[in-house]
Structure 1
Amino acid sequence: MHLPVFLREVWNADEAFVAVQARALDGGAGGFYEIVADRKPPLLPALYLLVHQLAGNATVWVMHGLALAAHLATALLLAAAARGRWGGRAGLVAGLLYVVGSAGLSPEDAQAANFEVFALPAVAAAVLLADRRRFAAAGGAAAVAALTLQAAGGVLLPVLWLAWRAAGRRGVLSAGGVFLAVVGAAAARVGWADFWFWVVFGNGGYTNVSGAWDRVALRGLGGLGIFLLANLGAVLLAGADRARRGRGDLWLWLVVAVAGVCTSLHFFGHYFLLLLPPVVLLAARAAATRPRLPLAPLGYGLTAAAVFVALALVWPAGKDRHAELVAERVRARTEPGAAILVWGMDPRIYWWSRRPAATRFLSAGFMTNFGGGRDASRVGERFAPEGVWRDFEADLRRRPPALVVDDSRGAPYAPDRIGRFHRYLLAGYRPVEVVDGSVLYARQPAAAGAAARLR
């Protein structure tokens, strides 16, 4: 189901984003949130960094292999959880439904080495460990999930439910205490202030949907529709189960997974992977009550997955081609090691140009609040998180880019709509080339002093 992951180096911008972060961390003096900024916890960037130190420019290819291993681990852990509760048939159903369901998204979401993919093994492990009354370890696994993706940390609630039912207050304190200790240790390692700002409190503007409710609703319904289309057999099987006992934690898990998908109100397709583990366990519970293996749901899941895998084989590479063309011209116009600035949303240009970013902010979205599923009503410098423009200016003063790539191509964050950045660009750079709609600006050394301030 996931062998197409090896058909291309980068499936989506998220992969390139974390790979560029790893490259910057490997060659820089400083830690996560200092050299690179992100709205995500630090665990997956740390894994990418480790792989980059071992594999260099083959980082993303290696991460694709690890993503495949993560899917397999999740399937096996869910199978073990189902088998422990309801027997071997339930375990087989859970594992198979996860494998086919995990391929049932847009190829850019299903085949990518995304945050969700690496969070789900810890999510499944947390529930399995709680089932086996290893509540401290379950809390630790839930913390690993949360440190990979904030929304995945919601698995702590079903873990606490299981701990309370099995061991009362002692179980809850054991699981909750270890969870808090692990998250607290990670926050201390990268810096308390930066951790809480970027992981929790600095995302208010990013999640605001003022003026875009219609777009948000359409994206949410569209993503849910694709998930249901791919997993209809599992969903119907779960709904056909008439037994009500022994599933309270699973329904709670499903509720927190839905909440996790909805948290940012951006509804990217890969978010919906969070729904899959509780759905397949609910389906496995239903399968255990039947006299025969439920071949129809399994057959439907396999058929749907085959369609999505076939899509991956022919999926167009339009964005890849654009980024490759721009990166090629960047390499031609700059020396190795020369810093560049890409004013856009796609860090693939950084990755393929093999040039370091001049700033810790790898997309213009940090400075403008632009993001998927939003219109121009809340895009602009005044909607950026507090302190971002100050840090952006400090980065550019410390490391003025030799080349600026305006990759906005008419988007709401185009330089002529962001006065502060537009003045910076005009003061220190001149346009030298247009590549597939992107404008390359070369630095004018005589104007470097004027260009150093974003005013």
Structure 2
Amino acid sequence: MLVEPLGGVGEVRARPRRHSVPPRSVSAIQRPRPARGYWRRLLPLLAALAAVTRVPSFARPLWNPDEGYLAVQARLLANGGELYGTVVDRKPPLVPWLYEAAFAVSGSGSLTSVRVLAVVAQLLTAALLASLARRRWGDGAGRTAGVLYLLVSVGLNPEDAQAASFEVFMLPFTALAMWCADRRRWRAAGAAVAFAFLAKQTGGAVLVPVAWLLWRSREPGALRLAVGAVLPVLAAALLTDPSGFVFWTVTGSGAYASFTGSELHVLTRGLTNTVILAVACAGLLPPVVRVLRIARTGSGDLWLWLGSSAAAVLLGFHFFGHYYLQLIPPVALLATAALQILPRERLVKAVLTSVCCCTLFLAWGLLAPRSDLTHAQRLADTMARRTDPGDRVLVWGIHPETYWLADRSPASRYLTAGLLTNYSGGRNGPQVGEKYAVEGAWPVFRDEMAEHPPVLVVDDSRDKPYAPEKVPSLRRLLAARYEEAGVVDGAVLYVRADGRG
């Protein structure tokens, strides 16, 4: 209360204090005092939800060729292979190392260990998002963010959502980068950005919102952020092969990233996966859209996070479903922000809708057939019967999991025909062929075939654009040294003409 003089000396009257009322926004919401035992109650809930949403991942030996590729790489590394030397891929080293470590503990005959790690990764991501939301908007917002993220995290084709993929292990680091930046821990934020990049290159996109938060803070933390981001990447390069690291993770994928060839095919895939994720986010998108029209969210960093993640999905013009996983953390936080200024019934509706959508996707994951897996298992059984454990074999196709299922060593460091023809990425147009291979790959491949010729060659192209008749070097190799020995499920088997092996 204020007092002000009236007519006479010492006479006063009360005047209420004026309070400024800012426009209603998320940032203006008064947060209650944090509750005791908050994490003791929330973490078991998130852990149970993470486990339930990942149940389908344990229902099959593997979900997609990426898991098969990583499993084969891990075995090769455990047997003395050198990453970016005798073991190659267009990906950074963190996830292959993770697979190798999991296999060292539990054996390489099953992906159960890495599936458990994927559950842990999803739990960590949810907990970090919950912590971010709680710091900004209160205890209830923290619970909302963590739960909504896990419910939506399965909202893609099961082979994309349930696989222990690069993106799943990238997401905790992207969330950690934002968590550290929100607390102005710039060196740690830079390190988290680096590890996100080392899981998958597009994880580095989180640097955009992190840098924006640094700029908004007006702190002299740019050097700390840069040091944190550079040192882990430099260490990874030195632990492998520096030139090979740069080539395979940055400079050697020009043809793969090109938009030319199969434009309609990849655009259709992109639209399909966008629609699928939109269905999964049916409970989240309406609150975000509504709040955009009626209030400020005060969440510029989250919009930048979403925008940079969308740019990462577009990068390379392939639009695989697992690329879209990168969008889910910022969408979950934006929905949480929006729900803070809407009536409570909107929150209930968003959660119930997300539960229903999650149930739908879990049923899809448990019931959907996997014809590709059945085909790979048949080939693997045949390979195991026709070769000895120490034999080297070559599978000319795009299913590296066949090596892992058969427990046979690949005859080449190039685990798919895609690296030698650019078919990887789903291209089936004019940019598929020997001349579009990874630079320098064919001379190395010819040397491998000459020094250690495979006992068995499996042509699994099945009339695809990379079939041997369209690849002169492979056609000549088969004609000179091998003879046809049968057909299994459409794949042609070749054995050495000299009868060795």
Residue identity matched to 1:32? L
Which residue of structure 2 aligns with residue 358 of structure 1? Answer: 411
Which residue of structure 1 aligns with residue 193 of structure 2? Answer: 142
CA contact (8 A) 1:405 1:439 kept: yes
Which residue of structure 2 aligns with residue 272 of structure 1? Answer: 324
State the distance in 1 between where 2:454 and 2:365 align: 37
Helix, strand or coil for the counterpart of 1:445?
Answer: coil
CA contact (8 A) 2:256 2:425 kept: no
State the distance in 1 between where 2:264 and 2:376 align: 30
Helix, strand or coil for the counterpart of 1:377?
Answer: coil
Match 1:108 to one of 159, 184, 188: 159
Helix, strand or coil for the counterpart of 1:378?
Answer: coil
Which residue of structure 1 aligns with residue 268 of structure 2? Answer: 218
Matched, 1:41 2:92: yes
- Mapping of residues 42-441 of structure 1, within 5 Å: 42-168=93-219, 170-241=220-291, 242-244=294-296, 246-292=298-344, 294-441=347-494
User: How far 1:446 sits from its partner (Å)?
Assistant: 7.3
CA contact (8 A) 1:209 1:374 kept: no
State the distance in 2 between where 1:36 and 1:429 align: 26
**CA RMSD, 1 decimal:** 1.5
State the distance in 2 between where 1:398 and 1:306 align: 53
CA contact (8 A) 2:71 2:108 kept: no
User: How far 1:245 sits from its partner (Å)?
Assistant: 5.2
Structure showing greater Rg: 2
Residue identity matched to 1:101? V
Which residue of structure 2 aligns with residue 452 of structure 1? Answer: none
TM-score, length of structure 2 as denominator length? 0.87
TM-score, length of structure 1 as denominator length? 0.95
Which residue of structure 2 aligns with residue 6 of structure 1? Answer: 58
Helix, strand or coil for the counterpart of 1:122?
Answer: helix
CA contact (8 A) 2:455 2:500 kept: no
State the distance in 1 between where 2:363 and 2:322 align: 18
Could you list the per-position Cα deviations for residues 390-424 of structure 1 after superposition, in whole angstroms to 9, with x for gaps in the alignment? 22122223321110010101111000110111101
State the distance in 1 between where 2:499 and 2:174 align: 55
Helix, strand or coil for the counterpart of 1:379?
Answer: coil
Residue identity matched to 1:191? D
User: How far 1:147 sits from its partner (Å)?
Assistant: 0.3
User: How far 1:291 sits from its partner (Å)?
Assistant: 4.5
* Residue segments in structure 1 that go unaligned for 5+ positions in a row: 449-455
Q: Report how many aligned residue pairs link the two structures.
A: 446
Residue identity matched to 1:379? V
Helix, strand or coil for the counterpart of 2:484?
Answer: strand
CA contact (8 A) 1:48 1:59 kept: no
State the distance in 2 between where 1:211 and 1:323 align: 27
User: How far 1:447 sits from its partner (Å)?
Assistant: 9.8
User: How far 1:104 sits from its partner (Å)?
Assistant: 0.8
State the distance in 1 between where 2:308 and 2:297 align: 19
User: How far 1:315 sits from its partner (Å)?
Assistant: 1.2
Give the ranges of 4+ consecutive aligned residues of structure 1 lying more than 4 Å apart after TM superposition: none
Residue identity matched to 1:301? S
State the distance in 1 between where 2:400 and 2:413 align: 12
State the distance in 2 between where 1:243 and 1:398 align: 68
Residue identity matched to 2:338? A
Please identify, of 46-55 and 233-242, the stretch whose mean Cα deviation from structure 2 is larger. Answer: 233-242
State the distance in 2 between where 1:201 and 1:314 align: 40
User: How far 1:385 sits from its partner (Å)?
Assistant: 2.0
Please identify, of 54-63 and 323-332, the stretch whose mean Cα deviation from structure 2 is larger. Answer: 54-63
State the distance in 2 between where 1:447 and 1:22 align: 29
Structure having the larger proportion of residues in helix: 1
Residue identity matched to 2:167? E
CA contact (8 A) 1:119 1:148 kept: yes
Matched, 1:21 2:73: yes
Report % sequence identity: 45
User: How far 1:188 sits from its partner (Å)?
Assistant: 2.0
State the distance in 1 between where 2:176 and 2:441 align: 37
